[in-house]
Amino acid sequence: ETNTLPFHPFEMQQGDILRMEKEHQVLKEQLKEAEEKYEQLQSRSSEEISAVKELLKKSVEKTEVSKNELDWLHQDLEIKVKKWQQEKKENKENLKALRNTAKKHTDTNDRYSKTIDEKEKKYNGYLNTYLETSNKLANDKVKLEELIKKSQDDRQECVKRAVKAEISVLKNWKETEVYKLNGKAANAEANLKMLKSLSSLPSAAPKLKSQIDSWETFISNVKKQLEKVEAEYEEKIQMVKNGVQNCLTKMQTVELPSP
């Protein structure tokens, strides 16, 4: 996790400092090669000049050369000397440029090294602060997780209690409605029983026939409503047990008028 990002402002992208150090090393090697080449060229040029001079001396001693030939030899010698001087000048300039570049890179490396040391000290300070903060946050996280777990346990307990309470309320509503409907059914059956006993008299049978039918129909409707109430409240109780919310609504029953 360390030194994987560009080191601003000395790096535009990661690896610039390392690449500059490699270039500095390459320039040192080029400088060394240039110096060796310069020394070889100087030695070779000196040997060539000595050889030409020696050849000229022997030619003059052995033969009588014409003035034109002698001028030509001088011109050739001057050309070679000028060429050697030009190469020497170019090599000096190249050597000077390489030395300046090497010095520039050395100064840059020194400056970067100093800056890196300062940044490293700051980084170590930041790292220590980060580690202290991280440990503190880790401890706070453990405490929060414990509080969250406790809150979740408390919530689960509250949910269980709420479910029990809703089921209890629904059962009470159901029992109340069932009690009322059973009361109506019992009263109606008592009236029906009385009417049927009176209808055994021949003179009263025709008059009571319609009332007996009305009470039988009423009793049938009460029993149907009783079954509906029990079924709907049982369904709501089951929904509450399954975790469905907003089920605590009282069933609207139709008021059945007695005959």
What CA–CA distances, in Å, run from 83 to 56, 79, 80, 144, 248? 19, 6, 5, 85, 111
pLDDT at 52: 86
Q: In 63-199, which residue ranges form alpha helices assigned H by DSSP?
A: 67-198
pLDDT at 1: 46
pLDDT cut 70: percent of the chain above it = 92
Q: Which residues of 98-127 are buried (b: 16+ CB within 10 A; e: fewer)?
A: beebeeebeeeeeebeeeeeeeeeeeeeee
Lowest mean pLDDT among 35-49, 95-109, 240-254: 240-254
Query: Which band of pLDDT confidence, cut at 50, 70 and 90, is reported for residue 162?
Result: confident
Q: How far is it, in rounded angstroms, from Cα 184 to Cα 233? A: 19
pLDDT at 259: 80
Q: Is the confidence at residue 178, as pLDDT, over 70?
A: yes
What CA–CA distances, in Å, run from 183 to 82, 172, 219, 220? 138, 16, 11, 14
At 121, the amino acid letter reads: K
Q: How far is it, in rounded angstroms, from Cα 148 to Cα 127? A: 30
Averaged pLDDT for residues 36-65: 82
pLDDT at 98: 92
Averaged pLDDT for residues 215-241: 89
* 55 or 67, which is more confident: 55
Q: Is the confidence at residue 256, as pLDDT, over 80?
A: no
For the chain, the average pLDDT equals 85
Q: Is the confidence at residue 202, as pLDDT, over 70?
A: no
All structural domains of the chain with their residue ranges: 157-242
Query: Which band of pLDDT confidence, cut at 50, 70 and 90, is reported for residue 82?
Result: very high
Length of the chain: 259
In angstroms, how far is the first alpha carbon of the chain from the final one? 90
Averaged pLDDT for residues 58-63: 74
Asked whether 10 and 17 are in contact (CB, 8 A), the reply is yes
- Run of H or E residues at 59: helix 16-62
